[in-house]
Amino acid sequence: MQMPAPERTANRTSRLGISPALWGVVRLAGAALILLAVSTQVTMSVQNALAAATPAARHLPTVIANLLSYFTILSNVAAIVALLLAGVWALRNARSRSVEPRGLAILLACVSTYMITTGIVYNLLLRNAPVGISAPWVNEVLHVVGPLILLADVLFAPQRRCLGWGVLGAVAAFPLVWVAYTLIRANFIIAPLTGEHWWYPYPFLNPHLPGNSALTVVLYVVGIAIVILAVGAGVIAVSRKRGR
Protein backbone atom coordinates (compact mmCIF):
# COMPACT_ATOMS: atom_id res chain seq x y z
CA MET A 1 0.00 0.00 0.00
CA GLN A 2 1.42 3.39 -1.02
CA MET A 3 1.80 5.81 1.85
CA PRO A 4 0.81 9.45 1.29
CA ALA A 5 3.66 11.89 0.87
CA PRO A 6 4.39 13.83 4.05
CA GLU A 7 3.32 17.44 4.10
CA ARG A 8 6.23 19.75 3.43
CA THR A 9 7.17 21.73 6.49
CA ALA A 10 9.89 24.25 7.20
CA ASN A 11 12.87 23.80 9.42
CA ARG A 12 12.21 25.76 12.59
CA THR A 13 15.82 26.93 12.89
CA SER A 14 18.09 28.71 10.46
CA ARG A 15 21.27 27.23 9.04
CA LEU A 16 23.04 29.01 11.90
CA GLY A 17 20.76 27.40 14.49
CA ILE A 18 18.89 30.67 15.09
CA SER A 19 15.23 30.27 16.00
CA PRO A 20 12.47 31.96 13.94
CA ALA A 21 11.67 34.25 16.87
CA LEU A 22 15.24 35.48 17.13
CA TRP A 23 15.45 35.88 13.37
CA GLY A 24 12.26 37.92 13.53
CA VAL A 25 13.96 40.24 16.01
CA VAL A 26 16.99 40.50 13.70
CA ARG A 27 14.71 41.48 10.82
CA LEU A 28 12.94 44.13 12.90
CA ALA A 29 16.27 45.51 14.13
CA GLY A 30 17.51 45.69 10.54
CA ALA A 31 14.35 47.51 9.49
CA ALA A 32 14.80 50.00 12.37
CA LEU A 33 18.43 50.68 11.41
CA ILE A 34 17.60 51.24 7.75
CA LEU A 35 14.62 53.43 8.70
CA LEU A 36 16.91 55.56 10.87
CA ALA A 37 19.37 55.95 7.99
CA VAL A 38 16.68 56.87 5.45
CA SER A 39 15.01 59.29 7.89
CA THR A 40 18.35 60.94 8.60
CA GLN A 41 19.03 61.32 4.89
CA VAL A 42 15.63 62.90 4.27
CA THR A 43 16.13 65.30 7.18
CA MET A 44 19.61 66.31 6.03
CA SER A 45 18.43 66.79 2.44
CA VAL A 46 15.66 69.10 3.58
CA GLN A 47 18.03 71.04 5.85
CA ASN A 48 20.58 71.42 3.06
CA ALA A 49 17.87 72.62 0.69
CA LEU A 50 16.57 75.22 3.14
CA ALA A 51 20.10 76.53 3.63
CA ALA A 52 20.91 76.67 -0.09
CA ALA A 53 21.75 79.98 -1.77
CA THR A 54 19.64 79.66 -4.92
CA PRO A 55 15.84 79.36 -5.24
CA ALA A 56 16.17 76.25 -7.41
CA ALA A 57 18.19 74.48 -4.75
CA ARG A 58 15.62 75.44 -2.11
CA HIS A 59 12.69 74.01 -4.06
CA LEU A 60 11.68 71.24 -1.65
CA PRO A 61 9.29 69.31 -3.97
CA THR A 62 12.12 68.85 -6.48
CA VAL A 63 14.64 68.00 -3.77
CA ILE A 64 12.36 65.34 -2.25
CA ALA A 65 11.35 63.96 -5.65
CA ASN A 66 15.01 63.69 -6.64
CA LEU A 67 15.87 61.94 -3.40
CA LEU A 68 13.07 59.42 -3.94
CA SER A 69 14.33 58.83 -7.48
CA TYR A 70 17.51 57.12 -6.26
CA PHE A 71 17.37 53.35 -6.71
CA THR A 72 19.22 53.10 -3.40
CA ILE A 73 16.57 55.02 -1.48
CA LEU A 74 13.68 53.15 -3.11
CA SER A 75 15.35 49.79 -2.46
CA ASN A 76 15.99 50.65 1.18
CA VAL A 77 12.41 51.86 1.71
CA ALA A 78 11.21 48.57 0.22
CA ALA A 79 13.64 46.75 2.52
CA ILE A 80 12.11 48.46 5.56
CA VAL A 81 8.64 47.29 4.55
CA ALA A 82 9.77 43.75 3.69
CA LEU A 83 11.80 43.30 6.88
CA LEU A 84 8.97 44.64 9.03
CA LEU A 85 6.42 42.30 7.46
CA ALA A 86 8.80 39.34 7.55
CA GLY A 87 9.87 40.08 11.12
CA VAL A 88 6.30 40.29 12.40
CA TRP A 89 5.38 37.11 10.51
CA ALA A 90 8.37 35.25 11.96
CA LEU A 91 7.47 36.28 15.50
CA ARG A 92 3.81 35.31 15.07
CA ASN A 93 4.72 31.94 13.54
CA ALA A 94 7.79 31.14 15.61
CA ARG A 95 6.28 27.90 16.94
CA SER A 96 4.92 26.82 13.59
CA ARG A 97 6.56 24.67 10.93
CA SER A 98 4.79 26.52 8.11
CA VAL A 99 6.78 28.22 5.40
CA GLU A 100 6.43 31.94 4.77
CA PRO A 101 3.45 33.03 2.60
CA ARG A 102 4.11 33.14 -1.13
CA GLY A 103 3.51 36.88 -1.40
CA LEU A 104 5.97 37.59 1.40
CA ALA A 105 8.51 35.21 -0.14
CA ILE A 106 8.29 36.98 -3.51
CA LEU A 107 8.58 40.39 -1.84
CA LEU A 108 11.68 39.27 0.04
CA ALA A 109 13.20 37.81 -3.15
CA CYS A 110 12.66 41.08 -5.03
CA VAL A 111 13.89 43.35 -2.25
CA SER A 112 16.89 41.13 -1.49
CA THR A 113 17.87 41.24 -5.17
CA TYR A 114 17.63 45.04 -5.30
CA MET A 115 19.56 45.54 -2.06
CA ILE A 116 22.32 43.10 -2.97
CA THR A 117 22.59 44.72 -6.42
CA THR A 118 22.76 48.14 -4.76
CA GLY A 119 25.71 46.98 -2.69
CA ILE A 120 27.49 45.50 -5.71
CA VAL A 121 26.95 48.49 -8.02
CA TYR A 122 27.83 51.03 -5.34
CA ASN A 123 31.08 49.36 -4.37
CA LEU A 124 32.10 48.75 -7.99
CA LEU A 125 31.01 52.03 -9.62
CA LEU A 126 30.06 54.64 -7.03
CA ARG A 127 32.27 54.20 -3.98
CA ASN A 128 34.23 57.40 -4.81
CA ALA A 129 31.46 59.23 -6.67
CA PRO A 130 29.00 61.76 -5.18
CA VAL A 131 25.58 60.09 -5.01
CA GLY A 132 23.66 62.55 -2.83
CA ILE A 133 24.21 60.85 0.53
CA SER A 134 25.17 63.41 3.17
CA ALA A 135 26.48 61.44 6.17
CA PRO A 136 29.16 58.70 5.99
CA TRP A 137 27.34 56.35 8.37
CA VAL A 138 24.10 56.75 6.41
CA ASN A 139 26.00 56.00 3.24
CA GLU A 140 27.40 52.77 4.70
CA VAL A 141 24.06 51.60 6.10
CA LEU A 142 22.21 52.16 2.83
CA HIS A 143 24.90 50.71 0.57
CA VAL A 144 26.70 48.10 2.68
CA VAL A 145 25.00 47.16 5.95
CA GLY A 146 21.48 46.96 4.52
CA PRO A 147 22.52 44.77 1.57
CA LEU A 148 24.42 42.47 3.94
CA ILE A 149 21.34 42.12 6.16
CA LEU A 150 19.23 41.05 3.17
CA LEU A 151 21.98 38.72 1.94
CA ALA A 152 22.07 37.07 5.36
CA ASP A 153 18.29 36.75 5.25
CA VAL A 154 18.51 34.93 1.91
CA LEU A 155 21.18 32.55 3.14
CA PHE A 156 20.16 31.83 6.72
CA ALA A 157 16.55 32.78 7.53
CA PRO A 158 14.38 29.85 8.64
CA GLN A 159 10.96 28.96 7.22
CA ARG A 160 11.86 29.98 3.66
CA ARG A 161 9.59 29.05 0.77
CA CYS A 162 10.80 27.34 -2.40
CA LEU A 163 10.13 29.73 -5.31
CA GLY A 164 9.64 28.95 -8.99
CA TRP A 165 11.81 30.43 -11.72
CA GLY A 166 8.87 32.49 -12.96
CA VAL A 167 9.45 34.82 -10.00
CA LEU A 168 12.48 36.18 -11.89
CA GLY A 169 10.04 38.11 -14.07
CA ALA A 170 8.62 39.84 -10.99
CA VAL A 171 12.16 40.60 -9.81
CA ALA A 172 13.01 42.28 -13.14
CA ALA A 173 9.83 44.38 -13.37
CA PHE A 174 10.67 47.21 -10.96
CA PRO A 175 14.22 47.93 -12.26
CA LEU A 176 12.87 48.18 -15.82
CA VAL A 177 10.21 50.66 -14.72
CA TRP A 178 12.79 52.63 -12.71
CA VAL A 179 15.21 52.92 -15.65
CA ALA A 180 12.43 54.11 -17.98
CA TYR A 181 11.20 56.61 -15.38
CA THR A 182 14.72 57.91 -14.71
CA LEU A 183 15.74 58.42 -18.33
CA ILE A 184 12.41 60.08 -19.26
CA ARG A 185 12.21 62.30 -16.17
CA ALA A 186 15.84 63.45 -16.37
CA ASN A 187 15.25 65.88 -19.24
CA PHE A 188 12.29 67.56 -17.53
CA ILE A 189 14.19 68.47 -14.34
CA ILE A 190 16.56 71.37 -13.78
CA ALA A 191 19.38 70.27 -11.51
CA PRO A 192 18.95 72.20 -8.21
CA LEU A 193 22.67 72.64 -7.56
CA THR A 194 24.10 73.23 -11.06
CA GLY A 195 21.18 74.71 -13.00
CA GLU A 196 21.67 72.20 -15.81
CA HIS A 197 18.56 71.36 -17.80
CA TRP A 198 18.71 67.71 -16.81
CA TRP A 199 19.18 65.70 -13.64
CA TYR A 200 20.29 62.09 -13.26
CA PRO A 201 20.58 60.29 -9.91
CA TYR A 202 23.80 58.50 -10.92
CA PRO A 203 26.69 59.68 -13.11
CA PHE A 204 26.79 56.50 -15.20
CA LEU A 205 23.26 57.32 -16.43
CA ASN A 206 24.17 60.86 -17.48
CA PRO A 207 25.08 60.99 -21.20
CA HIS A 208 26.08 64.66 -20.87
CA LEU A 209 29.13 63.97 -18.71
CA PRO A 210 32.57 64.00 -20.36
CA GLY A 211 33.41 60.50 -21.52
CA ASN A 212 29.77 59.43 -21.45
CA SER A 213 27.39 59.01 -24.38
CA ALA A 214 24.06 57.41 -25.11
CA LEU A 215 25.93 54.22 -25.97
CA THR A 216 27.84 54.10 -22.69
CA VAL A 217 24.59 54.65 -20.79
CA VAL A 218 22.99 51.76 -22.67
CA LEU A 219 25.98 49.56 -21.91
CA TYR A 220 25.82 50.43 -18.21
CA VAL A 221 22.06 49.73 -18.13
CA VAL A 222 22.54 46.39 -19.87
CA GLY A 223 25.39 45.48 -17.52
CA ILE A 224 23.38 46.34 -14.41
CA ALA A 225 20.37 44.45 -15.81
CA ILE A 226 22.58 41.37 -16.18
CA VAL A 227 23.73 41.79 -12.57
CA ILE A 228 20.12 42.12 -11.34
CA LEU A 229 19.03 39.02 -13.25
CA ALA A 230 22.06 37.07 -12.02
CA VAL A 231 21.49 38.10 -8.40
CA GLY A 232 17.77 37.41 -8.70
CA ALA A 233 18.46 33.98 -10.16
CA GLY A 234 20.85 33.32 -7.30
CA VAL A 235 18.26 34.34 -4.71
CA ILE A 236 15.67 32.05 -6.30
CA ALA A 237 18.18 29.21 -6.58
CA VAL A 238 18.96 29.49 -2.87
CA SER A 239 15.23 29.42 -2.06
CA ARG A 240 14.80 26.29 -4.17
CA LYS A 241 17.71 24.57 -2.49
CA ARG A 242 16.74 25.55 1.04
CA GLY A 243 13.01 24.99 0.51
CA ARG A 244 13.35 21.29 -0.30
Averaged pLDDT of the chain? 88
Structural domain span for residue 129: 20-242
Average pLDDT over residues 196-218: 90
Answer whether residue 14 is part of any domain.
Answer: no
Q: Report pLDDT for 1.
A: 41
Residue 6 lies in a domain: no
pLDDT at 127: 77
Rounded percentage of the chain residues whose pLDDT exceeds 70: 90
Q: Half-sphere exposure of 40 toward its Cβ, with a 13 Å CA cutoff?
A: 16
Give the pLDDT confidence score for residue 5 in this predicted structure.
40
- pLDDT tens-place string over residues 5-55: 443 445 555 556 678 899 999 999 999 999 999 999 999 988 888 887 777
pLDDT of residue 242 exceeding 60: yes
Burial class (CB in 10 A: 0-12, 13-18, 19+), 195: exposed
Q: Is residue 192 part of a domain?
A: yes
The pTM for the full model equals: 0.88
Greater confidence, 59 or 64? 64
How confident is the model at residue 97, as a pLDDT? 77
Residue 233 lies in a domain: yes
123 located within any domain: yes
CB 67 within 8 A of CB 41: yes
Residue 4 in any domain: the answer is: no
Position 13, amino acid: T
Running DSSP on this structure, what letter comes out for residue 9? -
pLDDT of residue 98 exceeding 60? yes
What are the Cα distances from residue 65, in Å, to 62, 76, 191? Answer: 5, 16, 12
Report the pLDDT value the prediction gives residue 11, as an integer from 0 to 100.
52
The 10s digit of each residue's pLDDT in 180-199 is 999 999 999 988 878 788 99
Number of domains in the chain: 1
Per-residue confidence (pLDDT) for residue 167, from 0 to 100: 96
In a domain, 2, yes or no: no
Average pLDDT over residues 161-177: 95
Q: What is the pLDDT of residues 131-153, one digit of tens each?
A: 555 788 999 999 999 999 999 99
Residue 45 CA to residue 134 CA, distance in Å, equals 8
Question: Is residue 9 situated within a structural domain?
Answer: no
What confidence score (pLDDT) does residue 244 get? 57
**Does residue 201 contact residue 66 with C-beta atoms inside 8 Å?**
yes
Amino acid 26 reads V
